Structure formats: structure tokens, C-alpha cells
């Protein structure tokens, strides 16, 4: 199995080192990740300047590893172009959960989505954080278990996996929490007294049972199967039906 590992926290993040290490148990790993942090970039691609890549062996023993001056989606596109026969793209492990509506902004999930656009399966992995950095060594067995469950499943194109800060081991298949928008804008003043704003993915309201946010809040590992088709099929069917009547 040929696995492309990427992320949006940048190639020097401990999260991608952990993911590459665990992924190596499942097949040949190629690492291709942004040279600086690209969190919140969503699925942006660089189309107005050329992209280059350089070898980056730090943290990646016996693996091909490259840093790219582009977005997470660029890394996937470039990896798919340079290396034939990639079976799956793993993106993460993001430092910070990617739950609910943060799916729209997340560079981590978008890299997995970009893989699906290239007809390659994509799996995003993220871990919740509090004030302390995640303990990736302790997380390794849980990452391994989650990947074991899904990495060979060719029926599922796009998965969003989230680990709680301290997983208990139980894996729950969940729905994306879309009931409440989580994207708070926090206004503040800089040291010069100028107004500025922080854009966050802090949840505004409580989560629904069975959703990704609910699972992680209750100490479970959440796996959400996703699709790319955004068509509102019910609305479409209604429109088509009404048109044929009139």
C-alpha cells in the first residue's frame, strides 16, 4: 500500500511525525507537507505562482519526505502528480479538533478532500487540545487502531477522524455536527489601541448526540464518513417535479 502523508500544521509539526510513523506499519509512506503552517487554508490551491519542493528528512526515518511552499491541497496535487499509484492520503494529525462546521475551513480535512478529487481515498486525522500540547506518543496506539479499522476499506472515499485529548479507545461512527455554526469572531484591541479581530472555530452552542462533536466530548474517537456532493437532492427533486407539473 502506497500512502501519502500530509498536514496543514507544516512539516515540522509533531503531529505529522506521529502519523507518518504509524502509517509506516501499513505500507510505504511518502511525506509531502507545507513548509510553514497552513491551518485554516481550507482547500485553497496556488494558481498564480509556481510551486517547488525540497527534501526534508528531519523526523522521517527511512521515508521519502518533502516540504512544499504551498497549501495542503497543493501538497496532495503535487504528490499525486509525482508519485504514481497512491492508494490513500492521510492528513494530520492536526493539533486541534476538526469537528462540525470547521470542516469548511480545515486545511487538514481539505487535503483529504483534495485527494478524493484526484480519485484517491482521503483520511483526515485531528486531536483535541487544551492548554497543553497533545501527547503524540500516548496517542499512537489509538491512531493505529483507527487506521486499522478504515485504511483498507476501499468503499469509503473520505473520512474525518477526530481523537479526544485522552482517548478511551472506543470508536464511534458519527455524523458531522451542522446544527450550530462554530465560528466566533472575537474583537479586541492591539497594543497600539487599534481594533482587530480573531476568527475562531470555537463552538457557539451545544452539540447533538451522535455527532462528531458529541463523540469527542465524551472521550470517544469519532469517524465521520463524508461525501463531496453538496447538491440538496430533496430541493432538486422538488424543483424538477414542480417543473414537470406546470
Q: Shortest gap between Cβ of 130 and Mn ion (angstroms)?
A: 16
Which cell is 113 given? Answer: 478532500
54 contact partners, CB below 8 Å, separation of at least 6: 35, 66, 67
Cβ atoms within 10 A of the Cβ of 179, count?
Answer: 13
Compute the distance between CA of residue 103 and CA of residue 224 in angstroms, rounded to an integer: 11
Nearer to Mn ion, 69 or 83 (CB): 69
DSSP state of 134: P
Q: Measuring CA to CA, which residue among 97, 89, 168 is closest to residue 126?
A: 97
Nearer to Mn ion, 39 or 114 (CB): 39
Q: Shortest gap between Cβ of 231 and Mn ion (angstroms)?
A: 29
Q: Measuring CA to CA, which residue among 131, 63, 123 is closest to residue 94?
A: 123
Q: Shortest gap between Cβ of 158 and Mn ion (angstroms)?
A: 18
Q: Measuring CA to CA, which residue among 31, 176, 185, 50 is closest to residue 111?
A: 31
Compute the distance between CA of residue 11 and CA of residue 38 in angstroms, rounded to an integer: 10
Nearer to Mn ion, 39 or 222 (CB): 39
Nearer to Mn ion, 8 or 74 (CB): 8
8 Å CB contact between 188 and 236: no
Q: Shortest gap between Cβ of 43 and Mn ion (angstroms)?
A: 14
Nearer to Mn ion, 9 or 35 (CB): 9
Which residue of the chain is nearest Mn ion when measured via CB? 39
Give the binding site for Mn ion (CB under 5 A): 8-9, 39, 94
Q: Shortest gap between Cβ of 112 and Mn ion (angstroms)?
A: 13
Q: Shortest gap between Cβ of 221 and Mn ion (angstroms)?
A: 18
8 Å CB contact between 48 and 148: no
Nearer to Mn ion, 34 or 164 (CB): 34
Which cell is 177 given? Answer: 455536527
Q: Shortest gap between Cβ of 103 and Mn ion (angstroms)?
A: 13
Nearer to Mn ion, 39 or 71 (CB): 39
Beta bridge partners of 170: none
Q: Measuring CA to CA, which residue among 140, 223, 114, 143 is closest to residue 176?
A: 223
Amino acid at each position: 500500500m502506497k500512502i501519502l502523508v500530509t498536514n496543514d500544521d507544516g512539516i515540522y509539526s509533531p503531529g505529522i511525525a506521529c502519523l507518518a510513523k504509524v502509517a509506516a506499519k501499513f505500507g510505504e509512506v511518502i511525506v509531502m507537507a507545507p513548509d510553514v503552517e497552513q491551518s485554516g487554508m481550507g482547500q485553497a490551491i496556488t494558481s498564480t505562482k509556481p510551486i517547488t519542493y525540497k527534501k526534508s528528512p528531519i523526523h522521517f526515518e527511512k521515508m521519502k519526505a518533502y516540504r512544499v511552499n504551498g497549501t495542503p491541497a497543493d501538497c496532495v496535487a503535487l504528490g499525486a502528480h509525482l508519485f504514481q499509484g497512491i492508494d490513500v492520503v492521510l492528513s494530520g494529525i492536526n493539533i486541534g479538533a476538526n469537528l462540525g462546521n470547521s470542516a469548511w475551513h480545515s486545511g487538514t480535512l481539505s487535503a483529504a478532500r483534495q485527494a478524493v478529487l484526484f480519485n484517491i481515498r482521503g483520511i483526515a486525522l485531528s486531536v483535541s487540545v487544551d492548554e497543553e500540547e497533545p501527547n503524540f506518543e500516548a496517542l499512537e496506539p489509538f491512531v493505529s487502531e483507527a487506521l486499522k479499522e478504515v485504511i483498507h476499506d476501499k468503499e469509503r472515499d473520505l473520512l474525518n477522524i477526530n481523537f479526544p485529548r485522552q482517548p478511551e479507545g472506543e470508536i464511534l461512527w458519527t455524523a458531522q455536527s451542522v446544527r450550530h455554526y462554530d465560528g466566533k469572531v472575537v474583537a479586541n484591541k492591539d497594543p497600539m489601541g487599534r481594533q482587530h479581530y480573531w476568527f475562531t472555530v470555537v463552538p457557539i452552542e451545544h452539540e447533538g448526540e451522535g455527532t462528531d462533536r458529541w463523540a469527542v466530548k465524551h472521550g470517544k474517537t469519532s469517524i465521520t464518513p463524508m461525501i463531496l456532493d453538496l447538491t440538496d437532492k430533496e430541493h432538486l427533486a422538488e424543483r424538477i417535479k414542480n417543473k414537470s407539473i406546470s
